[in-house]
Homo-oligomer: A and B are copies of this chain.
Amino acid sequence: MKNFEFYNPVRILFGKGTISKITGHLPSGVPILFVYGGGSIKSNGVYDQVIAALGESEYYEFPGVQPNPTYEQLIPALDIIREKKIGFILAVGGGSVIDGSKFLAAAACYKGDDPWDILSKNIPVKEALPIGTVLTLPATGTEMNGNSVISRVSLNHKLAFGSSLVMPRFSVLDPEVTYSLPKNQIANGVIDAFIHVLEQYLTYPSKAEVQDRFAESLLMILKSTGLKVFSDEIPTYDDRANFMWAATNALNTSLSMGVISDWSTHTIGHELTALYGFDHAVSLAIVLPGVMTFLSTKREEKFFRYGEKIWGIAGFDHQAAIAETIRFQDQFFRCMGVKTKLSEYGIGAEAIGKVVAQLKSHGAQMLGGAGDVTVDDVPAILAARI
């Protein structure tokens, strides 16, 4: 096990009716920016619950944050923050609303000319407005970490930044808010969280048994959630609660402690989203089988363990077992209604050169943290996904 530092002070308020609890965790006497997305919170009752919890607080709304939140769309909120002397951001929505709010929290305190520098030049965040969240879509895990991914449309760039200063002070996880989610959003959330676990687990043996067994625990729960979506079984409250808590644990940094993480699937997937507008989870489901096939001999030990523990695939021929594992996993994604080949979205081999060019334009050479995928490997990885 490698040395590590673990620090996660996010307070989780989990369960039925917990939106009302935010009242006790909001700062008093400080104007609040209430950030949300496309309006689904108005039809499912979350908006009303939040307004009730805000009570007498002075607050201003910033609605309309889109999936894959963009720099262009978020920047106007900085004027509100300045004018209204906002001291706290309340993000109510899925990963996009929360990631966008984290960017605003850091950008509001940025002393340089353009807060995009935080992402493009890796300028460390030195100060940020405090934020709290109400999660409406279990998927990204951003509600319990300090990471954020933002797109800049004008540059076709999708970049990430991270800082403990933008970790939420609290996050409300009420599984009942998921009742109104369409099935494809549940499926995307399952895939997103599943691949978050894999990026931290599916590398090289790190002899970190707590982390590996926790990862396998979450994969089994997410597999079970996914298969329920496929079978049209109606998920119970507890199914939803387990899915929600599993997705949060998938990326609250506990799995990555002391192990070799990867994230090359995400790095390539982000470029597909930037170029073609794929949903984040879909981009990952497309790229992952290519990365796994490409690395099947290098990472044989861990890939085989994954197949055995999660998909029940064993056998003397480890490479054959791994190929079978990749097929099972692909079928799992497809069962949930997600197509996993570029050609199924009308995209051909021309995508390969574009993705490589995008990666190179960001100076990417080594992709991911495991040291075994470079930008030069991307053509081989994507050729198998056309």
Is A316 interfacial (CB 8 A cutoff)?
no
Q: Closest CB of chain B to A258's CB: distance in Å?
A: 7
Give Cα A286–Cα B213 distance, bound, in whole angstroms. Answer: 29
CB < 8 Å neighbour of A5 from B3, B6, B12, B249:
B12
Give Cα A373–Cα B178 distance, bound, in whole angstroms. Answer: 37
Residues A208 and B8 in contact in the complex (CB < 8 Å), given A221-B213, A258-B14? no
Q: Size of chain A's interface in residues, with CB distance under 8 A?
A: 38
Is A195 interfacial (CB 8 A cutoff)?
no
The interface stretch among A94-102, A239-247, A263-271 is A239-247
A1 with B238: CB separation less than 8 A: yes
Give Cα A14–Cα B16 distance, bound, in whole angstroms. Answer: 35
Copies of the polypeptide in the assembly: 2
Residues A12 and B7 in contact in the complex (CB < 8 Å), given A207-B242, A218-B210, A221-B209? yes
Is A9 interfacial (CB 8 A cutoff)?
yes
Q: Which residues of B contact A160 (CB under 8 A)?
A: none
Q: Which residues of B contact A297 (CB under 8 A)?
A: none
Q: Which residues of B contact A224 (CB under 8 A)?
A: 209
Is A257 interfacial (CB 8 A cutoff)?
yes
Q: Which residues of B contact A249 (CB under 8 A)?
A: 210
The 10 closest A-B pairs by CB, nearest first: A3-B15, A213-B217, A9-B9, A207-B238, A6-B12, A7-B11, A1-B241, A209-B242, A210-B245, A209-B221
- Residue pairs across A and B with Cβ atoms less than 8 A apart, 7 shown, are A1-B245, A4-B15, A15-B258, A207-B241, A209-B220, A210-B242, A213-B221
Q: Closest CB of chain B to A91's CB: distance in Å?
A: 19
Give Cα A305–Cα B362 distance, bound, in whole angstroms. Answer: 51
Give Cα A11–Cα B237 distance, bound, in whole angstroms. Answer: 33
Q: Which residues of B contact A14 (CB under 8 A)?
A: 3-6, 257-258
Is A293 interfacial (CB 8 A cutoff)?
no
Is A185 interfacial (CB 8 A cutoff)?
no
Residue-wise interface mask of A (204-226) relative to B, using a CB-CB cutoff of 8 A (1 in contact, 0 not) = 00011110011011101100100
B-facing residues in A189-215 (Cβ within 8 Å): 207-210, 213-214
Give Cα A258–Cα B244 distance, bound, in whole angstroms. Answer: 13
B-facing residues in A1-58 (Cβ within 8 Å): 1-9, 11-18
Q: Closest CB of chain B to A205's CB: distance in Å?
A: 10
Give Cα A7–Cα B144 distance, bound, in whole angstroms. Answer: 11
Given A1-B245, A5-B14, 15 further pairs, Cβ under 8 A: A1-B241, A2-B15, A4-B12, A4-B14, A5-B11, A5-B12, A7-B11, A7-B12, A8-B9, A209-B246, A210-B246, A214-B217, A217-B217, A241-B258, A245-B258
Q: Which residues of B contact A217 (CB under 8 A)?
A: 209-210, 213-214, 216-217
